[in-house]
Amino acid sequence: MQIIADANPLISILIKPDRPILLLFLEELELVAPELLFEEIRDNKDMIIEKSKLTEKEVEDFIDVLKDRIKVVPEELFLNYREKAEDICPHKKDITYFALALFLKCHIWSNEKRLKEQDYVKIYTTYELIELFGI
């Protein structure tokens, strides 16, 4: 299953890995994201370090693992989908993720409840994916 990884479940995994971290390494999941993903994670790095008790190097190492595991799609490839994404996305900061989802015709992995307030793109939470894949 191809799925777009939003920043919030990945940040949650950094803070408290437990079972959800296994989702990152499932062969059945092809993780993709816009370039924006890594900017969002880096913008939250201080909060991640504070809440997780990880060192800055450990967080950077984890980001490197994510970069190896997640295929980044350049925004210029799906710019034509931005206008439609603006119409359907319930939260402005997630428009880029929705545009990519429309371009790839795939789902989004996010824990933001507001994103489920539309019927165009299927949103899976971390725990729905855990349940789906029997982790």
pLDDT tens track for 5-59: 999 999 999 898 777 888 999 999 999 999 999 999 999 999 999 999 899 999 9
Task: State the average pLDDT over residues 2-7.
Answer: 97
pLDDT tens track for 105-117: 999 999 999 999 9
Q: Calculate the dihedral angle through the C-alpha atoms of 70, 74, 77, 79, rounding to the nearest 10 degrees.
A: 110
Alpha carbon distance 60, 42 (integer Å): 9
Predicted TM-score (pTM) of this structure? 0.92
The separation between CA 13 and the C-alpha centre of its own chain, rounded to angstroms, equals: 11
